[in-house]
Structure 1
């Protein structure tokens, strides 16, 4: 468990405030975007798009949520260090929810005052707070924020932070479903018969995954991710602004008022080790992006941080050939796998899909 998981994320009584904050529509500029607009439960809480679409189009792919409670860093660049802080980012993004923290606070007061009070205490009066205000806003929204006193800003920030903590409590309940690989691994560990669970090709792919394919350098552990950042030579996307990945995300998480060490965090004295000892990003973090979990990966195309690669087979060819990075230094070197070995790796990755339930759906 990462030290950035704080007491207020552990689900203490949040149940009646969870689904309403994740799925309804009022918390966006156009009343049409919710968290569930991009994180679809029936699609592993992601959206199958190369780049997410909220009130506009983002520059990156929607990441799945399952298991992210165990990640010390959130987003492709790790610019947030907890689920609750991560939940706040899209709300004030001009291309995602497109709203602002003062508006969110007013909506909570209007629609969820009782539920909020039961969890966090009564909302302080917001009658002196304008409808729209944020330090991340532009024009009037920013001017309104700057006109507020410190006490009013703190009230808004606290309601905003608690809103994120309610969403995070729901997200912490989302865990990966069992796969055929899990059945195989469990029975192997128990000394029981494993024949027929995986095909011969899938077993060969597993051997390659932990061996010659070098996949476990980034995709290890129960979630098949090291939750860290790597430059793997992924191509740029024409027309998008330059994206430097973790090298920028490091600066952002350190400056975030909602990080683990901030005044709105519930972390204890022994928490926040990742943030306390976070070193300034060097050249190796230029265009480095977080390794996503490979659970369910075969059904989650397109791939990479901006959907640059369409199919899983093409991803494996990318890692096998190790192209030069457009910027920074790629960690890859050619694997020299045969076509049959690449096919075996792809077969094994398919064994990480959720086991189909009655009706054919995972």
Structure 2
């Protein structure tokens, strides 16, 4: 856990244990179950963005939309954000693990709902959407672009939209054409803290000896690229699902829920709250406690064993140059970081609880794509096989009650799928004469 929560967890266990029978779909919901409905729905308003003063600026969002689909924002000129976060797949890619310039070690999470999470990434190494976007741009297996090249692209191709959102580009930022061919990793000007090798570390140190004003200008424009991407992603909130319509009807006094859930899905809801114990970790409007848990997963085929997860991520978050309160942040008060203790043993092998909204459309599942289908996920929680490859399995976990029907749970989970976001926001701008490399129109499926 990253914040005080022992008492809350104990209360959740007691409350879930008292929820109604999974086989009684027609009976009115109990007081405890009604309390859970209020906790789970509706989604509610967007939270404030930590450190991004342009988070709700339409001009920044328009720039972020264009950059999201532009494959030139990568070392190869072919990898865009949409390569892994396909809008038509609920901003996932359908793969066990992400594939940008190379295959990564973790699954691609949906971007729908990302602004509601205090920490981003499976291990929570980033404390904002904009900071997470910057990490993906520089990661050698994702976009792999040097930040100076990303800034040159903005100066050459997006000067007008950038200056409309963030003001004039610094004079030291050259407007020349961006690089579109891969560059050696050592040529990238990255912060020392982000260096992945001794060569990158040496290159970073060498660049610090260059013009301090130029380095600061590049860093600031690069940060604004991330902030514009976050402004775009904030336009992609999860849409209400049939479950939300059911919850609204029940809370308005209609015990039938307006017919928005089938009898099987209604039984699945009760199982979700009771015998399946899903709600212990999947509560709140995103159906996620937004915390980190060690599930004791077996090794995933093709993925490295012993991933340290949250322990490593928590340490990285505390020293991240783009963290809340850092020199690139627009905020100075950072309560989430104040509560973060990277020394907790429970963080070993723990990963973020994902949102269950649209979960039927966002497989494979788990942090390394361990499980292909929701049926496999339910089977795992029913048996809890094996033991953790790093740390120890969270003691909060216990097997799903044998009386719980897999079919009913699946019916409920499918009722958490809402429509895709507005087509105007999930497609690239039409100003260009042809789609950018890496955009959905140019990628084969």
Residue 340 of structure 2, aligned match among 252, 269, 278: 278
For 1:99 and 1:310, locate their aligned partners in 2 and report how far apart those are by CA, in whole Å: 31
1:126 shift after superposition: 2.6
Q: Are 2:143 and 1:97 equivalent residues in the alignment?
A: yes
For 2:58 and 2:276, locate their aligned partners in 1 and report how far apart those are by CA, in whole Å: 43
1:127 shift after superposition: 4.6
1:236 shift after superposition: 2.1
After superposition, what is the alpha-carbon deviation per residue over 1:129-159, rounded to whole angstroms, capped at 9, x for unaligned?
9974223456475465344232222111101
For 1:109 and 1:185, locate their aligned partners in 2 and report how far apart those are by CA, in whole Å: 48
Residue 198 of structure 1, aligned match among 230, 245, 261: 261
Report the secondary structure of 1:306's partner residue. coil
Which residue in 2 is equivalent to 1:134?
190
For 2:420 and 2:77, locate their aligned partners in 1 and report how far apart those are by CA, in whole Å: 35
- Give TM-score scaled by structure 2 length: 0.75
Residue 65 of structure 2, aligned match among 19, 36, 41: 19
Report the secondary structure of 1:7's partner residue. coil
After alignment, is 339-348 or 222-231 more displaced? 339-348
Q: Are 2:355 and 1:293 equivalent residues in the alignment?
A: yes
1:340 shift after superposition: 5.0
Residue 223 of structure 1, aligned match among 286, 289, 296: 286
For 1:249 and 1:309, locate their aligned partners in 2 and report how far apart those are by CA, in whole Å: 23
Q: Are 2:439 and 1:348 equivalent residues in the alignment?
A: no
After alignment, is 237-246 or 62-71 more displaced? 237-246
RMSD: 2.4
Report the secondary structure of 1:14's partner residue. helix
The unaligned stretches of length 5 or more in structure 2 are 1-46, 180-187, 422-445
Q: Are 2:295 and 1:232 equivalent residues in the alignment?
A: yes
Report the secondary structure of 1:227's partner residue. coil
Over 3 Å counting, the alpha-carbon distance change for 1:143 and 1:228 in structure 2 is: same
Over 3 Å counting, the alpha-carbon distance change for 1:103 and 1:355 in structure 2 is: closer
Residue 85 of structure 1, aligned match among 115, 123, 131: 131
1:59 shift after superposition: 0.5
Which residue in 2 is equivalent to 1:360?
none
1:318 shift after superposition: 1.0
For 2:242 and 2:294, locate their aligned partners in 1 and report how far apart those are by CA, in whole Å: 30
After alignment, is 89-98 or 1-10 more displaced? 1-10
Structure with the larger RCO, 1 or 2 (CA within 8 Å, 6+ apart) = 2
- Give TM-score scaled by structure 1 length: 0.91
The unaligned stretches of length 5 or more in structure 1 are 358-362
Over 3 Å counting, the alpha-carbon distance change for 1:20 and 1:336 in structure 2 is: closer
Which residue in 1 is equivalent to 2:325?
261
After superposition, what is the alpha-carbon deviation per residue over 1:104-123, rounded to whole angstroms, capped at 9, x for unaligned?
11111111112211222211
1:237 shift after superposition: 2.7
Report the secondary structure of 1:13's partner residue. helix
For 2:144 and 2:109, locate their aligned partners in 1 and report how far apart those are by CA, in whole Å: 19
Q: Are 2:382 and 1:320 equivalent residues in the alignment?
A: yes
After superposition, what is the alpha-carbon deviation per residue over 1:223-273, rounded to whole angstroms, capped at 9, x for unaligned?
111111111111223553341110000011111110001011111x5x310
1:333 shift after superposition: 4.1
After alignment, is 126-135 or 166-175 more displaced? 126-135
After superposition, what is the alpha-carbon deviation per residue over 1:147-201, rounded to whole angstroms, capped at 9, x for unaligned?
4232222111101000100000000111112211111001111113525321222
